[in-house]
């Protein structure tokens, strides 16, 4: 096999997106292991998938045209405006175009069970940062699905064709068979293998989708994630799942939101926890300290009470996470760390010793200057 992706698909380097897609459909139907029994069919189909994965993506294709690889000159991929998500949440790891074509061939297969016409629900995972969750965000995702065939509008009917009554079952969708047994004749019914139990066939099916009304395709979809959504919460997008056969209803796309861990905040429901550092003087005398909030350019004012202790928790109301689909916010809990200076100037040390003397404390294994003077006079 040639290693050039354009040669693998049989298209020129200036081929349009539509031409690449059609070439992939044609080659995939020829090479898919379900229909091609050649020993190397599976390996050739994987190579075809790899070529389509690159050339159907504008960013990857641009890198490939420039560098001959999708990794760029230094081996790192370029940034894109969307996230590519797989279907592992629903179908298991590794689900891709090959599995879609397996479903495509399975949908057209004829057997003893009725063909499912409605499309199945699909599931994808979407990872977001805590900042994106705080403000809400729009994301363009890319995923593979069986989509309505553009050539026939999803009907499966080719030019000049129509649905006709199935000649094999006379439009009943069922085949009656009789078996002779020692108990007598046994009559059974099963779905018609010609029409899949629908009672209808197409006299001139669409050449592109072979009469199914759907084809494997890569979808670009912009979704709006509302602020305050929880980790593991799901968004259901109607009719963006697997397309149905012959224009039947499509399934839904279920997006499961996953939130990446944050280095500065820990979320607890609608509340946020963070750690802040203050000096021993601020802890002793009290202070007002500003720290970064979760919202863009947000500064949160934290009031340190006099005599604040290490690991004390200070609550700032209304500065936590925005509540899901509401205008209110949770609270921010600042966990205080009191810093003790490691080095002091001579003057700072004298002042600290005087302070220790006022408290009647001994420091560093020695009495304070004031205490030594008092001892000398007594």
Backbone angles phi, psi at 22, to 5 degrees: -65, -40
> Distance between CA 144 and CA 44 in Å, rounded?
20
Same-domain check for residues 297 and 365: no
- The number of distinct structural domains making up the chain is 4
Same-domain check for residues 285 and 309: yes
- Please say whether the beta carbons of 315 and 335 come within 8 A: no
- Residue 104, pLDDT > 70, answer yes
Same-domain check for residues 142 and 12: no
| Residue numbers of the domain that contains 290 | 266-339
Same-domain check for residues 132 and 232: yes
- Please say whether the beta carbons of 257 and 231 come within 8 A: yes
Determine, yes or no, domain membership for 274: yes
pLDDT at site 95: 55
> Distance between CA 257 and CA 254 in Å, rounded?
10
Same-domain check for residues 99 and 246: yes
pLDDT at site 134: 97
Confidence of residue 76 (pLDDT cuts 50, 70, 90): very low
Q: Encode pLDDT of 311-348 as tens digits.
A: 999 999 999 999 999 999 999 999 999 999 989 999 99
Same-domain check for residues 234 and 317: no
Determine, yes or no, domain membership for 199: no
pTM: 0.76
Determine, yes or no, domain membership for 231: yes
Same-domain check for residues 6 and 55: yes
Same-domain check for residues 254 and 282: no
Paired with 104 in beta bridges are: none
State the CATH number of the domain containing residue 317. Answer: 2.60.260.20
- Please say whether the beta carbons of 288 and 276 come within 8 A: no
Pick the closest to residue 222 from 107, 118, 143 (CA basis).
143
Write out the two tokens for 12. Answer: 């020129």
Rounded to an integer, the average pLDDT of 101-119 is 67
More confident residue, 56 or 137: 137
- Please say whether the beta carbons of 249 and 118 come within 8 A: yes
State the CATH number of the domain containing residue 42. Answer: 1.10.287.110
Same-domain check for residues 238 and 333: no
> Distance between CA 124 and CA 290 in Å, rounded?
40
Confidence of residue 74 (pLDDT cuts 50, 70, 90): very low
- Please say whether the beta carbons of 192 and 114 come within 8 A: no
Determine, yes or no, domain membership for 303: yes
Determine, yes or no, domain membership for 174: no
Determine, yes or no, domain membership for 167: no
pLDDT at site 269: 95
Q: Encode pLDDT of 262-316 as tens digits.
A: 999 999 999 999 999 999 999 999 999 999 999 999 999 999 999 999 999 999 9
Rounded to an integer, the average pLDDT of 138-162 is 93
Q: Encode pLDDT of 190-248 as tens digits.
A: 888 888 888 999 999 998 898 989 999 888 899 999 999 999 999 999 999 999 998 99
More confident residue, 84 or 172: 172
pLDDT at site 287: 97
Among 52-66, 126-140, 333-347, name the one with the lowest average pLDDT. 52-66
Same-domain check for residues 132 and 251: yes
- Residue 31, pLDDT > 80, answer yes
pLDDT at site 376: 61
């Amino acid at each position: 096999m040639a290693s050039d992706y354009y040669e693998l698909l049989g298209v020129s380097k200036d081929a349009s997106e539509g031409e690449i897609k059609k070439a992939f459909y044609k080659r995939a139907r020829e090479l898919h292991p379900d229909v091609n029994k050649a020993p190397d069919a599976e390996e050739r189909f994987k190579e075809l998938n790899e070529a389509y994965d690159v050339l159907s993506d504008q960013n990857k294709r641009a890198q490939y045209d420039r560098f001959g690889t999708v990794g760029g000159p230094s081996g790192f991929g370029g940034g894109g405006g969307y996230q590519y998500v797989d279907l592992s949440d629903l179908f298991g790891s590794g689900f891709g175009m090959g599995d879609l074509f397996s479903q495509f061939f399975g949908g057209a297969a004829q057997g003893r069970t009725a063909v499912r016409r409605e499309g199945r629900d699909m599931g994808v995972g979407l990872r977001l940062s805590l900042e994106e969750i705080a403000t809400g965000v729009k994301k363009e995702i890319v995923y593979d699905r069986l989509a309505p065939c553009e050539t026939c509008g999803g009907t499966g009917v080719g030019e000049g064709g129509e649905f006709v009554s199935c000649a094999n079952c006379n439009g009943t969708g069922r085949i009656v068979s009789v078996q002779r047994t020692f108990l007598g004749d046994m009559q059974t019914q099963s779905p018609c293998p010609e029409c899949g139990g629908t009672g209808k066939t197409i006299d001139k099916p669409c050449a592109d989708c072979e009469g199914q009304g759907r084809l494997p395709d890569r979808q670009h979809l912009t979704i709006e994630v509302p602020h305050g959504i929880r980790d593991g919460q799901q968004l259901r997008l109607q009719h963006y799942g697997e397309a149905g056969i012959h224009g039947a209803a499509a399934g839904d796309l279920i997006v499961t939101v996953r939130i990446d861990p944050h280095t500065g905040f820990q979320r607890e429901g609608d509340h946020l926890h963070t750690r802040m550092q203050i000096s021993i003087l601020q802890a002793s005398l009290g202070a007002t300290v500003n720290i970064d909030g979760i919202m863009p350019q947000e500064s949160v004012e934290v009031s340190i009470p006099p005599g604040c202790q290490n690991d004390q928790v200070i609550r700032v109301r209304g500065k936590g996470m925005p509540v899901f689909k509401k205008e209110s916010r949770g609270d921010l809990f600042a966990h205080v760390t009191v810093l003790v200076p490691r080095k002091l100037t001579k003057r700072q040390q004298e002042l600290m010793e005087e302070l220790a003397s006022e408290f009647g404390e001994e420091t560093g294994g020695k009495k304070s200057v004031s205490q030594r003077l008092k001892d000398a006079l007594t």
